A and B are shown apart, each in its own frame.
Chain A
Amino acid sequence: ETGVTQSPTHLIKTRGQQVTLRCSSQSGHNTVSWYQQALGQGPQFIFQYYREEENGRGNFPPRFSGLQFPNYSSELNVNALELDDSALYLCARRMTGESYEQYFGPGTRLTVT
């Protein structure tokens, strides 16, 4: 049990729509990262939030945006959905302290039609 939860589990959207994915965890996880995993590939880093501010971004366009809240929850927003956005979206939390362990949530499967 990683203590990281994501919602919804599955989602179907139409091209051009907007979507918000959510991630929450127990306290103590003050760094959150989001990853996109297309079918048959390794996860790709989207961005990271630390203390409610974006603290690093991968090679994703601005229509991918995020938020982190004081209660350690986080959102990933994707505007103007494209078919290639269909993927498993994973939220990862890093433990505070010296451990570099990073735990992943169960993911949200997004299908864009």
Chain B
Amino acid sequence: ELKVEQNPLFLSMQEGKNYTIYCNYSTTSDRLYWYRQDPGKSLESLFVLLSNGAVKQEGRLMASLDTKARLSTLHITAAVHDLSATYFCAVDLTSGSRLTFGEGTQLTVNP
């Protein structure tokens, strides 16, 4: 059974600081997704990583994938309050339509 673990589960950081969220998974996969969720809202797609060594960046967020280590990271650079949200990683073992999600990392960026 595929297991996806994120850490930390809760992260409180100051504006301007850098931090990394980690996503470990138990079964080999070449497809790793990152989503953002604001309170009471749906999931917003951030990144889809499709191969070992893949790195994608959008604004202050950068995601990477190491399939050999079964690890993905979401790095936050110079955090701003607008980044406060819950971030989920998800792994797909099939054809892109059945995702197994981690528990989520609740990020709070304080002024």
Contacts and interface: CB of A to CB of B under 8 A. Distances in A.
A103 B97 contact: no
Interface string B70-111: 000000000000000000101010111111111110000000
A102 B96 contact: yes
Interface of A: 2, 31, 33, 35, 41-45, 48, 50, 55-56, 58, 88, 90, 92, 94, 99-107
Interface string B43-67: 1110010100000000000000000
Nearest to B96: A100
A43 B107 CA distance: 18
Given A48-B98, A101-B96, 6 more contacts: A35-B99, A43-B88, A48-B97, A100-B50, A102-B45, A104-B45
B103 A41 contact: yes
Contacts, number: 66
Interface residues of B, number: 25
Interface of B: 4, 31, 33, 35, 41-45, 48, 50, 88, 90, 92, 94-104
Contact of A102 (B4, B88, B99, B104): B99
Nearest to B94: A56
Given A56-B97, A102-B96, A42 B42 contact: no
Contacts of B88: 42-43
Given A43-B101, A45-B100, A100-B50, A90 B94 contact: no
B42 A90 contact: yes
A90 B43 contact: yes
Given A90-B42, A90-B43, A106-B41, A45 B48 contact: no
A58 B100 CA distance: 10
